[in-house]
Every structure is written in C-alpha cells, then in structure tokens.
Amino acid sequence: MKYITIISLTLSILINNVFGQEEDIIKYRKNIMKAVGNHISIIAANLKGKVDINSDILPHSNALYLSLAAIDIDKTFPEGTSNTSGLKTKSLPIIWSDKKAFRESMKVSTEKAKALVIAAEGGNRQDIGKALGALGKTCGNCHNKFREKKN
C-alpha cells in the first residue's frame, strides 16, 4: 500500500508538472505574439499620424524583427499544445500536422520583418508603410491557417 501511495503521488506531481509546463509555454508564446502585435501597433500609430514619435519606428521595427527571429518553433510550439489539447490556446493542430508550412510561414514573416527594418533605416514613410503592410499580410495569412478564428 505504501508503494501505491508513493507511485500515485509521484505520477500526480509529474502530470501536474507537464500540464503546468504546457500552460506556461502557451503563456510564453502568447506574450511573444502580443509583443509583436504591440510593436506593429506602435509603428502603425506613427505612420497614421495618431502620434508623432517617428524616432520610435526604427527601434520598434528592430524589436519586432528580433522577436520573430528569436522564436524557436520546436520549443515555443511543442507537440500537444493545440486548441484540442484542453489548454487555453487558439493554435490549431495543423501547426504540427503541416509543420513544414508553419515553419515557412514563420520564415516569411521574419523576412518581411527584416524588410521593415531596412525600410525604417531608410526613413521613407511610404516604404515603411508598404513594408509594414506586407508584414501584416504574412501575419494574417499565418493566423488564417494556423490559428482558431476569433468569435
């Protein structure tokens, strides 16, 4: 009986640890994506004239690019962390069933973010707007395919 109790307790701790880690990685990746979205919003607010802090465009473009480039897909999107896993996420299972397409989408977004940095370095607002629009399109394409639709 003593061993059954020890085994049950150990399994309970291990299961809670794994489930807790999955919840933590989902929070982690949500925070990355929120950061990306916030940088996009800051750049867009400047381009639309809602604020006039144009000196923010380049640093936020750099931060946006670094945020996307730093994502380790295998660690940030581990197997078993989709919206069908019972966890609070909008990530669809297709991320893992078509991981090649997901990797390519992330790669394209990262490339568009780098193009935004180059445009921001040039300082031409029209070029920055085009680059931001191109990045936004890649974000939308990825969300349409790999993320559950918002209600």
Which pLDDT tens digit goes with each residue over 7-42?
A: 554 544 444 444 467 889 999 999 999 999 999 999
In words, the CATH class of domain 2-146 is mainly alpha
Alpha carbon distance 98, 100 (integer Å): 5
Is the predicted pLDDT of residue 86 greater than 70, yes or no? yes
Query: Where exactly are the structural domains of the chain?
Result: 2-146
The H or E element spanning position 44 is helix 2-47
Is the predicted pLDDT of residue 80 greater than 50, yes or no? yes
- Residues pairing with 139 in the sheet: none
Condensed to tens digits (0 to 9), the pLDDT of residues 91-133 reads: 999 999 999 999 999 999 999 999 999 999 999 999 999 999 9
Give me the pLDDT at residue 74, please: 95
Residue 119 · residue 127 · CB < 8 Å: yes
The two counts, helices (H) then strands (E), for the chain are 6, 0
| pTM of full prediction above 0.95 | no
